[in-house]
Amino acid sequence: MKTKRSILAFVVLIVAMLACQSLPLSNEQPVSVLPPVVAVAPIDSNAENPAAQEEGLVALYENVSPGTVAIITDQGQGSGFVYDAQGHIITNFHVIEGAQTIEVRFTSGFMAYGTIIGTDTDSDLAIIKVDAPAEELHPLPLGDSDSLKVGQTVVAIGNPFGLDGTMTVGIISALGRTLDAIRETPEGRPFTAGDIIQTDAAINPGNSGGPLFNTSGEVIGINRAIRTNSTTDTGQPVNSGIGFAISVNIIKRVAPVLIETGKYDYPFLGISSMDSLSLVVVNELGLSPYTGAYVTEVVSGGPADQAGIKAGSTSTGITGLLGGGDLIVAIDGRDVRTFDELLAYLITNKGPGDTVTLTVLRGTEKVDVTITLDKRP
Active site residues: 94, 124, 208
The three state secondary structure string of 52-71 is HHHHHHHHHHHHHHHHEEEE
Distance separating alpha carbons of residues 106 and 139, to the nearest angstrom: 12
* ∠ CA 57-63-67, rounded to 5°: 120
Distance CA 220, CA 223 (A): 10
Number of neighbouring beta carbons within 10 Å of residue 6: 21
The Cα–Cα gap between 170 and 237 comes to 19
SS3 254: helix
Residues 6 or more apart in contact with residue 67 via CB below 8 angstroms: 37, 81, 82, 138, 139, 140, 211
- What are 182-185's contacts with CB under 8 Å, separation 24+? 182/1, 182/93, 182/94, 182/121, 182/122, 182/124, 183/121, 183/122, 183/376, 185/377
The answer to whether the CB of 226 falls within 8 A of the CB of 240 is yes
Distance CA 147, CA 144 (A): 6
CB 179 within 8 A of CB 224: yes
Q: Report the distance separating Cα 179 and Cα 247, nearest Å.
A: 12
Query: For residue 285, what is the DSSP state?
Result: H
